[in-house]
Chain A
Amino acid sequence: MGLTPRPEHRVVEYNPSSQEGWVATKLDFLVNWGRANSLWPMPFGTACCAIEFMATAASRFDLARFGMERMSFSPRQADVLICAGRVPFKLAPVIRRIWQQMPQPKWAIAMGACASSGNIFDNYAVVQGIDTIIPVDVYVPGCPPRPEGLMYGIMLLQEKVKSERMNDKTIRAEMEPDPKSKLYIPPPVIDELSEPFGNSVHQTRSGL
Chain B
Amino acid sequence: MSDGFEIQYPGNALGNAAPAPVTPRDVPNRGGDQNPSGAALRQQFADAIERVDVVWGVTNVYVRPDRVLDIVRWLHDDSSQRYDYLSDVTAVEYRDLEAPIEVVWHLRSLPFRRELRLKAQLPKNKPLEIASVWSIYKCADWLERECFDMFGIRFIGHPDLRRILMWEQYREGFPLRKDFPLRGRFSRAEQLRQALAANPEARYSMEELSIADAFEDLPTDMRKRLKGGERTGE
Contacts and interface: CB of A to CB of B under 8 A. Distances in A.
Q: Do A and B come from one complex?
A: yes
Interface residues of B, number: 27
B182 A206 contact: yes
Nearest to A96: B196
- Classify the secondary structure of B's interface with A: loop
A89 interface: yes
Given A92-B196, A182-B193, A183-B189, A125 B175 contact: yes
Contacts, number: 80
Interface of A is mostly: loop
Interface stretch (A23-31, A66-74, A189-197): A189-197
Contact of B188 (A96, A177, A191, A205): A191
Contact of A124 (B97, B180, B189, B199): B180
Interface in A174-190: 177, 181-183, 187-188, 190
A15 interface: no
Interface in A91-128: 92-94, 96-97, 122-125, 127-128
B39 interface: no
Interface string B163-182: 00111000010010011111
B192 interface: yes
A-B pairs, 3 with minimum CB distance? A187-B189, A124-B184, A89-B195
6 contacts: A93-B196, A181-B193, A190-B189, A191-B187, A203-B182, A206-B179
Interface of A: 89-90, 92-94, 96-97, 122-125, 127-128, 132-133, 177, 181-183, 187-188, 190-191, 193-194, 196, 203, 205-206, 208
